[in-house]
Structure 1
Amino acid sequence: MEQDALLTHQTIPEPPEGFKSGFVGIIGRPNVGKSTLMNGLVGQKIAIASPVAQTTRNRLQGILTTDSAQIIFVDTPGIHKPHHQLGKILVHNAKVAIESVDVVLFVVDSATEAGGGDRYIAELLQKTKTPVILGLNKCDQQPEDTQPLDNSYRQLFAAQNWPIVKFSALQETGLHPLQSQLIQHLEPGPYYYPPDLVTDQPERFIMGELIREQILLHTREEIPHSVAVTIERVEETPKLTKTYATIHIERKSQKGIIIGKQGQMLKTIGSAARQQIQKLIAGKVYLELFVKVQPKWRQSRLRLAELGYQVEE
């Protein structure tokens, strides 16, 4: 099952005349809805969404194929001031993504005024030659008079004259105009992936992310970002997929929080994650979770590499 339900091995067809394709980098502050947006655009949950900021860690690629175009979305970590080695890698990788895509979609939280973090990213983007589209997300949460909030972003980027699109990733409203705007900025090109593919990531990676999402949802601020998940083993039978995963945390006290009284928290996390994985693979799943303490893993380049966090070139 390494690459099966999400990654198939079919022949990539020849594109029709006038077909466009390219890579779109989704950039923004932590917790502005980038992962929710990519899930909505590709029509399937492949990136985790959490009320805890800074949950995206890898440059996850989502793929949207229409009759006239193929868009490969690169969901990047939220750009912020890093406080540890993991944070430095995440921000570095997000900056690399800006220069390695065909279009940048700069997503902001339009339910609040533009802040220092938005200004910092705007300054970064002003230095790039990559076309930029400003996406005002969470428009469903704006007050009746939206002008003051919208203007706070327009003033930031007035000199650049970037196109602006408003939408709600959570409600999935306004996504078609956004999709059209993105396609306008792409050049004619081939299919990079088979048309039915929604991500370039193996199923094991998505499984680990779905488990990590449930940890963040159920423990909130108690286990902020010092958690990683590795899928140790997957055994398939015609009726059941057995999955064994390890949850890595930094402190013994966190182990107690994740396991919970009489193991109840771990059961809750496992049950919720199992339901999400069953949707992913469209079949029954047995999920067994283990918890391992790895002191200061976010500060160690070796540990980060072992857990799959590489520095992008």
Structure 2
Amino acid sequence: MTLNQESHAVRCGYVAIIGRPNVGKSTLLNRILGQKLAITSHKAQTTRHSILGIKTRAEGQILFVDTPGIHQRGSNALNRYLNRAALTALTGTDLALFVVEALRWTAEDAKALAAIAAAAVPVIAVVNKVDRLSNKQALLPYLRMLAQRHEFLALIPVSATNGDQIETLEQTIVTALPESEFLFAEDQLTDRSERFFATELIREQLMQRYGEELPYCTSVAIERFEQENGRYQIHALIWVERPNQKAIIIGKQGEALKATASQARLEMQKLFACPVHLEVWVKVKKSWSSDEAALANLGYQE
């Protein structure tokens, strides 16, 4: 325990970030941490794995668990995995952040809130994307509607994009956590490996660069991850389900794949703070997203 911690009681606990797809959960986590940890895109269900993000403040350490969006779309093995991952994150957590989009309420929002209520976890409602509202007064009836749906510890309008009310949110979270010594080093940001983030950064480019459906038919596996002479040597495989998907990702004369790999490499160099040599191939694995065993082999496990 540091001298700063010894001067007063500190708090520490796990906080699950829960909500439907595309409400800005990962953007919120990145904003709070002050660094890009979770990948983002405008497409729903960008997040596929729960990610631990550690925010250490003088008065407490917040252990955020970013989760896939709880959704009702699709019933294949991957969709079932994503919902299980989100619901499992509620087990053993000290607090939930229920993230919604300002002025929107859907059946998937209701499903996410029902899961939190069933877990009997204290919850703060985070109303995101308020920067998009031209009339802030319209938010008041929406907040009243939310307050009638559940007994929240607090309802806090925020903008994860520009940082509005983020400090207020953090302070509210810390006061709701149990008194406890820090569980991680003060300078630690996550418990995930660099190998994991290499996978995610490639997948982020797939989400951002290709059509609406294609990214959901892809997965990424790291075949080699080694450090040589101060440089990371990374070999990655992009798995798709059909030959025509492979052709689209590679593009004419391989230009599309080169652009994807180049941008992913630049993002890796920012995160890892060292040079990266990245090689990427594309292979076909028929119906991997509908096969439980194939999902397990690709790392989709609880």
Verify same fold: TM over 0.5. yes
Q: Which of the residues 262, 267, 273 maps onto 2:264?
A: 273
Shift of 1:153: 4.8
Shift of 1:136: 0.6
1:154 paired with 2:125, answer: no
What's the secondary structure of 2:90's corresponding residue?
helix
Q: Where do 1:207-218 residues align within 5 Å?
A: 207-218=198-209
Quick one: distance in 2 between partners of 1:118 and 1:146? 22
Structure 1 residues 258, 181: closer, same or farther in 2, change over 3 A?
same
Quick one: distance in 1 between partners of 2:149 and 2:258? 53
**Which letter maps to 1:52?**
K
Q: Which of the residues 90, 93, 109 maps onto 2:101?
A: 109
Q: Where do 1:32-47 residues align within 5 Å?
A: 32-47=23-38
**Which letter maps to 1:211?**
I
1:291 paired with 2:277, answer: no
Shift of 1:124: 2.7
**Which letter maps to 2:239?**
H
Further displaced range: 219-228 or 22-31: 219-228
Q: CA contact under 8 A between 2:127 and 2:155: conserved in structure 1?
A: yes
Q: Which of the residues 201, 213, 226 maps onto 2:192?
A: 201
What's the secondary structure of 1:217's corresponding residue?
helix
**Which letter maps to 1:185?**
A
Quick one: distance in 2 between partners of 1:95 and 1:146? 34
Further displaced range: 123-132 or 164-173: 123-132
Quick one: distance in 2 between partners of 1:202 and 1:211? 15
**Which letter maps to 2:177?**
L
Identity of aligned residues (%): 39
Shift of 1:83: 2.1
- TM (normalized to structure 2)? 0.94
Q: Which of the residues 250, 254, 262 maps onto 2:253?
A: 262
Shift of 1:175: 0.8
Name 1:121's counterpart in structure 2. 112
Q: Which of the residues 73, 96, 114 maps onto 2:88?
A: 96
Q: CA contact under 8 A between 1:251 and 1:294: conserved in structure 2?
A: yes
Shift of 1:80: 0.5
Quick one: distance in 2 between partners of 1:151 and 1:294? 49
Shift of 1:239: 4.0
1:84 paired with 2:84, answer: no
- TM (normalized to structure 1)? 0.91
Quick one: distance in 2 between partners of 1:47 and 1:249? 22
Q: Which runs of 5 or more residues in structure 2 are unaligned? A: none
Shift of 1:224: 3.2
Q: CA contact under 8 A between 1:122 and 1:157: conserved in structure 2?
A: no
Further displaced range: 255-264 or 158-167: 158-167
Q: Which of the residues 178, 194, 197 maps onto 1:187?
A: 178
Quick one: distance in 1 between partners of 2:237 and 2:156? 41
Quick one: distance in 2 between partners of 1:22 and 1:70? 7
Shift of 1:262: 0.7
**Which letter maps to 1:43?**
G
Quick one: distance in 1 between partners of 2:75 and 2:259? 31
Shift of 1:156: 3.7
Quick one: distance in 2 between partners of 1:283 and 1:221? 33
Quick one: distance in 1 between partners of 2:15 and 2:199? 24
Ranked by relative contact order (alpha carbons within 8 Å, sequence separation 6 or more), the top structure is: 1
Q: Which of the residues 137, 149, 164 maps onto 2:155?
A: 164
Name 1:229's counterpart in structure 2. 220
Name 1:54's counterpart in structure 2. 45
1:21 paired with 2:17, answer: no
Quick one: distance in 1 between partners of 2:106 and 2:181? 39
Q: CA contact under 8 A between 2:143 and 2:155: conserved in structure 1?
A: no
Quick one: distance in 2 between partners of 1:309 and 1:159? 33
Structural RMSD (CA): 1.7
